Amino acid sequence: MIKNIVILGAGTAGTMMSNHLRRALSEDWNITIIDQRTEHHYQPGYLFVPFGVYEPEDIVKPIEKFIPDGVNLVLGAIERIYPDKDKVVMASGKEFDYDILIVATGTDIAPEETEGMMGPHWHKDVFDFYTLEGATALAKKFKDWEGGKLVINIVEMPIKCPVAPLEFAFLADAFFEQKGMRDKVEIAFATPMSGAFTKPKATEKLDYLLKEKNIEIIPDFNVMSIDGEAKTITDYAGKEVSYDVLVTVPTNKGSDLMERSGIGDELNYIPTDRATLQSKVKENIFAIGDATNIPASKAGSVAHFEGEVLLENILRYISGKELKEGFDGHANCFIETGHGKALLIDFNYTHEPVSGTFPFPGVGPLNLLKESRMNHMGKMAFKWIYWNMLITGRHLPFVTTKMQEAGKNFD
Amino acid sequence: MEKTIGNTTVNMGDDGYLVDLNEWNQEVATEIAQEEGITLTDEHWKVLEYLQNQHKKDVPLTIRNVGKSGVVDIKGFYALFPEGPLKKASRIAGIPKPVSCI
């Protein structure tokens, strides 16, 4: 008898799973993947658009190009998941029954969550760089900006790619220096965290970079409202920061679909087991990538490592075996620091990022938690890896799903 | 590290948070609150009780979900526990230091 797997979302995680599953499952399994967009964006590329490093066409390709033969791609909006009926209903009224459902609907910015963020100033003086529209508008603004105060603000955690705002600050520093106008630009970084990065050891290590680059950190800043006319942001404690250009990372939320289906948390993320990736909604619903509520970074590398665990667990589920607690929270992120250099961090649920070498213990060639040109080349090469290996579910050479402890300098 | 507060001896971690919620009582809370420069009122106690209940249910605490709890809104939460409300309130409530950072 024919059985059905339905994947919701054809972004990084969903596309990768469709490739994994089509290779692993026999023709007895129908695989359907649903998305409302027609374009697949290389999201790590957004960061470079404001600085003119990438043009939009470098980072956008058609979704269908990456969905393998033998997988049914359906374009359209999803209205609701009915876990009790094992059914997904589209906005068009079309229905899909499933034996296994994979939720990979990701996360998106929700600027409407902050009072005063939206308005005539949106994409004029107040920008996001988590959408192609925002990043492109910012590129235009920076092109002939004469300088002033640039404030980068994270509204609240968790956010997608937690290191991106910091990278943005570093790249802005280098960009204005290269334009010969760094002395005309003041850069401040207002964050709800007590330091620049989410992990204390990395924060300690990275602190010197902020000083070196003359970036002012405003910690424990929880923005309450934005006044677009006066160009100020105010936090709940009454602190006020003025800006000429505000680059905000708005509240991140999962898909409204979770709310409509009554299965999300207060930020519309789907409750998920952090080790098996089975949802807590129902045993035949699994989740991957940014859509879950697991305490791991919302990042492409995390989705990649989750993908190998999820594939195994779906195969186990199909054959009635116990699921493997295989996911350790592994994340691996390059952090651009400007001037052709980058840092690399590698961490999981239990280990904070530390210094060392990667991927070969004691050899490298990449250095952990240390600036180098090689790391930057790794970051730039990642675009090719993403399009050609990562989303098509190929195993990345030398990089293990579980975080490697060898070659790292733990205390 | 052992610390004597009134008639109670409690274990406190290096981070200044109680190690065991069972050692918490109102006297301990009042004392820690004073260290934070806060005099506890009925409004404070309601928030502390809410935080303890959520903690017992393993619900991760964030400023957002406290603000949506119906017990206090975000602005009120800041007014009661100025500056780092979740960090301060968690410490006074005897629950672990919040780990919302990912």
Q: Please check whether residue B102 touches A, CB under 8 A.
A: yes
ipTM for the complex shown: 0.76
Contacts of A179 (CB under 8 A, 6+ apart): none
pLDDT at B13 > cutoff 50: yes
Given a contact cutoff of 8 angstroms between Cβ atoms, the answer to whether A279 and A270 are in contact is yes
Q: Which two tokens stand for residue A294?
A: 């697991």
The pLDDT value given to residue A366: 86
Give me the long-range contacts of A21-25 (CB less than 8 A, separation at least 24): A21/A311, A21/A314, A22/A68, A22/A69, A22/A70, A22/A71, A23/A68, A23/A393, A24/A311, A24/A315
- Residue A268: count of CB within 10 angstroms of its CB: 23
Kindly list the residues from chain B whose CB atom is less than 8 angstroms away from the CB atom of residue A224.
74-75
Q: Quick check: A266 and B68 CB within 8 A?
A: yes
The pLDDT value given to residue A54: 94
How many Å lie between the alpha carbon of A265 and the closest alpha carbon of chain B?
A: 10
Q: Quick check: A236 and B62 CB within 8 A?
A: no
Q: Please check whether residue B1 touches A, CB under 8 A.
A: no
The pLDDT value given to residue B59: 77
Q: Which two tokens stand for residue A19?
A: 């490739």
The pLDDT value given to residue A44: 95
How many Å lie between the alpha carbon of A3 and the closest alpha carbon of chain B?
A: 36
Exactly one of B1, B99, B101, B102 is catalytic; which is it? B101
Delineate the domains of chain A, giving CATH numbers in brackets. 3-106+255-318 (3.50.50.60), 110-249 (3.50.50.60), 331-390 (no CATH)
* B54 annotated active-site: no
The pLDDT value given to residue B100: 52
Q: How far apart are CA A45 and CA A105, in angstroms?
A: 20
Strand ranges in A51-99 using DSSP code E only, listed in sequence order: 60-62, 71-75, 78-82, 87-90, 95-97
pLDDT digits (tens, 9 = 90+) for A182-216: 999 999 999 988 888 767 777 877 788 999 999 99
Ranges under pLDDT 70 in chain A: 198, 411
Cα–Cα–Cα angle for A69, A298, A213, rounded to 5 degrees: 125
Q: Please check whether residue B6 touches A, CB under 8 A.
A: no
So where are chain B's domains? 2-93
The alpha carbon of B20 is separated from its chain's Cα centroid by a whole number of angstroms, namely 13
Q: Please check whether residue A225 touches B, CB under 8 A.
A: no
Q: Please check whether residue A236 touches B, CB under 8 A.
A: yes
Kindly list the residues from chain B whose CB atom is less than 8 angstroms away from the CB atom of residue A219.
none
